[in-house]
Structure 1
Amino acid sequence: MSFVDVLPLAIVMIAGPQIISSIFLSTSERWRANATAYVFGAALSISLVVAVAYLLGNSLGSDGGLLGASARQLLYVVVLVLLLYAAVDTYRNRTVSEPPKWMGELTSAAPQFSFRLGFLLLGFFPTNVVTSITVGTYLAANGAPVTDAAGFVLLTLFLLALPSLGVVILGKRAETALPHIRDWMNDNSWIISEAVIVIFAVLTLRNLLG
């Protein structure tokens, strides 16, 4: 079940400036190249953080690991602490109703900038790095293969690509629809993120308590 368990955390990954940046890039002058570079940069950084967290968690928590089998319980505690941080950070930033000013410059961004933005924003934004570490650690604690993170990564990338896919499908109508979606996500994404974090915390607590 670990494969299914981690999928909802993809929503936490894209909620906030991540999806808003994707919307801006999908309406930029070179939107195809920018959207592709953004998603590719995100794919690299997310995969890197999840893999490193998994390897560290697996080396500590496996039966032959540094701390022995009992470390698996410790890993679950680490996951809960990370989730608590993510929940607090999401709630603390819930009142940030306006995107950063630099987002307004994304409509004229170059693909190189879009790649760097995707790599840094999805891989190393505080809530995102915590979420990716949580996924890697959770899979390690459950003794699941690291390939179980593929669904989480792919779903995150698909959600990031939705604005550009919308442009392909809707054409000019996307220019009207996307700003409304952007504003709604900016106002309500924190609620969705908190709900997902709570659900995942309950699953982790259940595993911790056996």
Structure 2
Amino acid sequence: MSFLEVIPLAIVMIAGPQILSPIFLATSDQWRANSTAYVLGASLSISLVVGIAYLFGNSFGASGGLLGASAKQLLYVLVLVFLLYAAMDTYRKRNVSKPPAWMGKLTNATPPLSLKLGFLLLGVFPTDIVTSVSVGTYLAANGDPVTDAAGFVLLTLFLLAVPSLSVFLLEERAEAALPQVRNWMNENSWVISEAVILLFVVLTLQNLFG
């Protein structure tokens, strides 16, 4: 996957509680350990979902596999279904303007909790499952190696680490700016997600009928 393809996918991955949580963790008492644990948990879950989706796609799409020559078209349809579901789910939750109550408690979080949170938010959150599965099946459909997903995974993890990196580099200035960034992203994340998902729906349709 090219870098230009990876950027919008990574943005979809972090839009919502996924990026709001590390902003809270970056201002917690154990912010270094919490932020590291969160990113580690996210890396495990993203890699796991992408890997499973890739194996599933290969089992159907390889020569001599279960579906023969039509497998690539079927996988593109699968990717399209995932993307449309993500678009509907994002639109359905567009009016949720306040973060969940549990998020306010993250300032007192511990590293084990942060690890679990990173794993769950990036691994079982509907839009993230859809995106990771789309990446895995897309690579399988095009006969690309699963290692091509490394850029997608690493960029997503970097974006999740930005709040803690900003605190490390900018200290008090970052601590003052992060709440404002958090509020803006919480209010506008669904619009960003919908725009990116729409872009990939168009690209998938081109691959399907092109």
Fold agreement, TM-score > 0.5? yes
SS at match of 2:95: coil
1:7, 1:186 → 2: CA distance?
A: 20
1:6, 1:164 → 2: CA distance?
A: 22
1:142, 1:195 → 2: CA distance?
A: 24
Alignment of 1:83-122 (within 5 A): 83-122=83-122
Alignment of 1:55-204 (within 5 A): 55-204=55-204
Deviations 1:110-151 (A, max 9, x none): 000000000011111111111111111111111111011100
Using the TM superposition, name which of 58-67 and 112-121 deviates more.
58-67
Structural RMSD (CA): 1.1
1:177, 1:85 → 2: CA distance?
A: 34
Using the TM superposition, name which of 29-38 and 119-128 deviates more.
119-128
**1:81 Cα deviation after fit:** 0.6
What is the TM-score with the length of structure 1 in the denominator? 0.97
Counting matched residue pairs gives: 210
Identical aligned pairs, as a percentage? 74
AA aligned opposite 1:111: P
Partner of 1:30: 30
SS at match of 1:194: helix
- Consecutive unaligned residues of structure 1, counting only runs of 5 or more, are none
- Consecutive unaligned residues of structure 2, counting only runs of 5 or more, are none
- Is 1:44 the counterpart of 2:41? The answer is no
**1:59 Cα deviation after fit:** 1.1
What is the TM-score with the length of structure 2 in the denominator? 0.97
Contact 1:61 1:67 in 2 (8 A): yes
Q: Structure 1 segments of 4 or more deviating over 6 A?
A: none
Contact 1:2 1:142 in 2 (8 A): no
